Structure formats: C-alpha cells, structure tokens
C-alpha cells in the first residue's frame, strides 16, 4: 500500500473537530448565535463527534502496525 488513507481522514477530522469544539466552548453563552439551531450548541456537539471519529480512524492504523 502506497498510502494509508485512514491517516489523512483521521487527521482532517481531528483538526476540524478540534476547531469546532473549541469554538463551541468559547461561544457557550452566545444564545443569539444558536437561535438558528434551536438553542443547541451544535458546534460543540459536531466537533466532539468529529474528534472521536477522527481519533478512532487514527487508532485503527496504530493497531494494524503492531500486528
């Protein structure tokens, strides 16, 4: 295999997830920003989900190497 695509996918999701989650944390009390999304801090939630998904992608490449 020339390139393990799980690495760039994992990295992209970790980076974008991190940005969204941090932005979500800092805009926690900005109720005006989140009126569109029915009061939910959707940035934080999506960010966390992306972080977890990206992290799992990266972890799965680790395990393969150890074998």
Contact footprint for other proteins (CB under 8 A): 1-3, 5, 8-9, 11-13, 15-16, 19-20, 23-24, 27, 33-34, 36-38, 40, 42-43, 45-46, 49-50, 53
Chain centroid to Cα 44, Å, comes to 9
Distance, CA of 14 to CA of 8 (rounded, Å): 10
DSSP 35: T
- Output the smallest distance, CB 8 to other proteins, in A: 6
Distance, CA of 11 to CA of 55 (rounded, Å): 8
26 or 62: whose CB is closer to other proteins? 26
- Output the smallest distance, CB 66 to other proteins, in A: 19
């Amino acid at each position: 295999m020339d390139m393990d695509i799980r690495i760039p996918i994992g990295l992209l999701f970790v980076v974008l997830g991190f940005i969204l989650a941090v932005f979500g944390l800092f805009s926690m009390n900005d109720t005006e920003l989140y009126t569109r999304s029915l009061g939910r801090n959707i940035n934080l939630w999506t960010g966390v989900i992306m972080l977890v998904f990206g992290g799992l992608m990266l972890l799965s490449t680790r395990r393969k190497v150890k074998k």
